[in-house]
Amino acid sequence: MSRARKLLSRYWSVLRSRSTIPTAIVAIFFFVAGIAYMRTFDYSMTVTSTDQFCVGCHEMKDNVYPAYTESIHYSNRSGVRATCSDCHVPHRWSDKVVRKVQSTKEIWGTLIGTIDTPEKFAANRLRLAQREWTRFKKNDSLECRNCHDQSFFSFEKQNPPGTYMHEVMMQAGQFTCVDCHKGIAHVLPEIEDLELISPAVLEPGFRAPFDHGEMTRE
């Protein structure tokens, strides 16, 4: 009998033993192991949600991080910063786990060099942005709403397009934050017709052309 089979046989004997002491030892072992596993899992979730981890690869550090550091989400008069994970990782634990599992495919992209040069990143930027816009659209811009509460809007401090759009959003729910607020923390991808990314509900007088270069700083 091999050593492994002997250990399994001994373990099985302990489980079948009528003595409560071995059973208690086994129960304590699995309890402690479970706590250790959860602590390790939670720690890994926390570490992989930091800005330091996000910009650990040059694809992010060189292509999207510089624009983010110049945006109002990075530095503002209120001293409140939206980190990478605040916008790109769901806050709800179950959704966060799903997003972490989905992000493992990005490891493969790094290995094969999908966006490892500025030229490759530029060629894929619109596709990557549209993927995030779609995700925000599906969850009603949940990551935006984790910080921004529409019930606290001061409409008198907003310009006419903002007032109109926010009122329609609150009253009719026809669209969501990301329909207008693209290019907030990152430079917009190259799009031939910027009006294509504006919501159809926007009144003609409020439609493009906007100076999206300036909008990224608002």
Number of domains in the chain: 2
- pLDDT exceeds cutoff 50 at 209: no
Question: 109 and 88, same structural domain?
Answer: yes
Structure tokens at 155: 């409409």
**79-88 contacts, C-beta under 8 A, 24 or more apart:** 80/147, 82/147, 82/185, 83/49, 83/50, 83/51, 84/49, 84/51, 84/54, 84/55, 85/49, 85/50, 85/51, 85/54, 86/143, 86/146, 86/147, 87/143, 87/144, 87/185, 88/54, 88/132, 88/143
Question: 103 and 185, same structural domain?
Answer: yes
Percent of the chain with pLDDT over 70: 81
- Segment 154-193, tens digit of pLDDT: 888 888 878 888 888 888 877 888 888 888 888 888 776 6
Specify the range with the lowest mean pLDDT, choosing from 5-14, 129-138, 156-165.
Answer: 5-14
Question: 113 and 14, same structural domain?
Answer: no
Supply the mean pLDDT for the chain: 81
If you average pLDDT over residues 17-21, what whole number do you get? Answer: 60
- Segment 191-207, tens digit of pLDDT: 766 555 555 545 444 44
- Segment 82-108, tens digit of pLDDT: 999 999 998 888 888 888 888 888 888
**Residue 136 near residue 177, CB atoms below 8 Å:** yes
Tell me the residue range of the domain where 29 lies.
1-47
Pairwise CA distance, residues 61 & 63, whole Å: 6
